[in-house]
Amino acid sequence: MRTSFRIFRISGIDINIHISLVILLALLVYAFYISPPPYGFADFGEMKRILLSFFAAIALFVAILIHEFAHSIFARKFGVKVRAIMLFIFGGVSMMESMPKKPREEFIVSIAGPAASLLIALISFILSFIPLRELSAFFTLFTYFNVILAAFNLIPAFPMDGGRVLRSFLADRKSYAEATRIAAEIGRALAVFMAIFGIFYNPWLILIALFIYIGASEEERIVLLENVLGKVKVKDIMTENVVSLTPEMRVSEVMTLLLKSKHLGYPVIDDDKLVGIVTLHDIINADPNTRVGEVMTKEVITVEPNRSAFEAFKIMSERKIGRLPVTENGKIVGIVSRSDLMRVKEILEALEVMGWKRS
């Protein structure tokens, strides 16, 4: 079942909504309906109350979209690929391949969202002086919301905007990995404080705190992984003696090979060309007499030997695959798996610790 849907595209960036957004929209409409000004429209007649509440809830997510779009525009200016913007129950997120590594660039990308929200707040504040009562109430609420959105995002709780701003300052004085570690620790500490505060005052803060805590830990893990795996190339860690299959082999033969070699996936070679890949998942329900060519995955994702090991890890994570054939000039020269990468990571970390102790 799909949980998110693309609604449109702006400047080459897909705008997606998660189904959880429907829940938040309903909650916002209800909150505006029962709240008095400046945080709602309880003082208006029934029909105006309903319409203003509905359009205010929609407008708030337009403001969040503009906030995220500002991040995306500046990220693309610095060469970062932005896959999409996702609007969901916690607000929105720009789905970037990575953040700029230069502190100044990360600062600009991170501050762009809150700056856009404050600009919207300023425009809304001016429009709130329109003499029509309904529009004045609408833009007053919009002003408050965008000020709160900017202020909340500037809390130095990594990976929120404020946490990224903090990392950009730290990265000017420390390594990128160390700056990330410190920012993530501060983010987790603030998340714990937010959760405790939420227990007594607002349960919604507990969910946001959980989101921040998990996000800080995950991004720290990825950056530290890049710091280690980014130092080695795929050709340095790949398995060169690749066990391969042919399209004419039978599934029963592959099962025998799986039991002997204990590898879960094999490239399929035909006339010295890579034509597919077969994994345990491909053959688990297949007839033993079926040809490999009938069950193999034909769209094979490969990696070049001179790419970094971290790039291979990113490809595997994004495509949700466990191994990558390594090809050069159209021919397979090796294979690398996720377990290979994790073992290499452990070895390199151990060597770094040993080197530190010797020094």
Tokens of 44: 């208006």
- Contact of 143 with 125, CB cutoff 8 Å: yes
- Phi and psi, residue 265, nearest 5°: -155, 145
Q: Which residues of 67-83 are buried (b: 16+ CB within 10 A; e: fewer)?
A: bbbbbbbbbbeeebebe
* Closest-CA residue to 337 (of 140, 345, 57, 247): 345
**In the annotation, is 68 catalytic?**
yes
Q: Helix, strand, coil proportions of the chain in percent (round to 5)?
A: 60, 15, 25
DSSP annotation of 36 reads P
Distance CA 189, CA 201 (A): 18
CA dihedral sign of residues 286, 298, 244, 280: negative
Catalytic residue numbers read: 68
